[in-house]
Amino acid sequence: MKSLEELAQIRERMKNKVALREANGEIRIVVGMATCGIAAGARPVLNALVESVVKEDLKNVTVTQTGCIGMCRLEPIVEVFAPDQDRVTYVKMTPDKVPEIIEKHIKGGHPVTKYTIGAVEN
């Protein structure tokens, strides 16, 4: 490091890398892919979500998988984490429900409550 300008450039580069890791402004869709989820049909749901996100060119959305979410009888389970919003848990998911969730919740910001845990439990 030879100057304050070089230090400022390094700081800016690192700040950008940290922002990418923190995924500010990013929506995360997480699919439960433990044995129970896979047996209940989570793999086609995961594939449908990935295909929809790519098709709609949603740059601020990532689709990931996790292990058991802990409610095996409600699998396949999909959780949506959006900035400044409560987590939304969709249960008994099917690939047919994905387009509606992408359109209304992911793009429109309004959860599709008829597919959420609260609607199924009542």
The pLDDT tens digits of the residues spanning 87-115 come to: 999 999 999 999 999 999 999 999 999 99
Q: For CA atoms 97, 52, 72, 108, give the dihedral sign.
A: negative
Structural domains present in the chain: 27-121 (3.40.30.10)
9-31: average pLDDT = 65
Note the pTM of the prediction, 2 decimals: 0.77
Burial (0-12, 13-18, 19+ Cβ within 10 Å), 86: exposed
Angle at 14 (CA atoms; ends 11, 17), nearest 5 degrees: 155
* Residue-wise pLDDT tens digits, 48-95: 999 999 899 888 999 999 999 889 999 999 999 998 889 999 999 999
